[in-house]
């Protein structure tokens, strides 16, 4: 939310958002409406779930089960990052759009200055799942 849009105007080398990233409300339904990233966050929205189960749904999509092992046929499941909107909908309908919103660099000038003058760890990943 805070650094995703820095690629556009602060530093194009940052591995940030392009604007083409979207999630379907129901990833398993190709006809389901899409919610795409936007740079119109006015405030920090309530967070999506951070439990192991919630993060697994966000990263792999709902119903993914264990990331690997017998339930997955012993093979790792590909992280599609397709379940953020669907998982957020279980918290509140308003959060579905909120999880896909970020801040324009000019809305967070201190973060933009730090990203411009120092380093952005844009290849850091959560230890979950």
> What is residue 97's predicted lDDT score, i.e. its pLDDT?
92
Question: Is pLDDT at 67 greater than 80 in this prediction?
Answer: no
Between 95 and 128, residue with greater pLDDT:
95
Question: Is pLDDT at 65 greater than 60 in this prediction?
Answer: no
Alpha helix positions (H), 10-127: 52-60, 84-89, 95-98, 109-117
Domain boundaries, the chain: 19-36+45-89
> What is residue 72's predicted lDDT score, i.e. its pLDDT?
58
Question: How much is the average pLDDT of 104-128?
Answer: 87
């Amino acid at each position: 939310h805070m650094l995703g849009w820095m690629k556009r105007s602060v530093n194009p080398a940052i591995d940030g958002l392009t604007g083409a990233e979207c999630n379907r409300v129901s990833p398993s339904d190709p006809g389901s409406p899409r919610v795409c990233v936007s740079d119109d966050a006015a405030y920090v929205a309530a967070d999506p779930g951070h439990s192991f189960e919630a993060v697994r749904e966000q990263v792999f999509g709902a119903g993914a089960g264990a990331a690997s092992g017998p339930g997955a046929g012993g093979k790792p499941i590909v992280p599609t990052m397709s379940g953020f909107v669907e998982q957020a909908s279980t918290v509140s309908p308003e959060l579905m759009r909120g999880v896909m919103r970020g801040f324009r660099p000019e809305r967070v000038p201190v973060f933009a200055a730090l990203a411009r003058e120092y380093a952005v760890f844009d290849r850091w990943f959560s230890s979950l799942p």
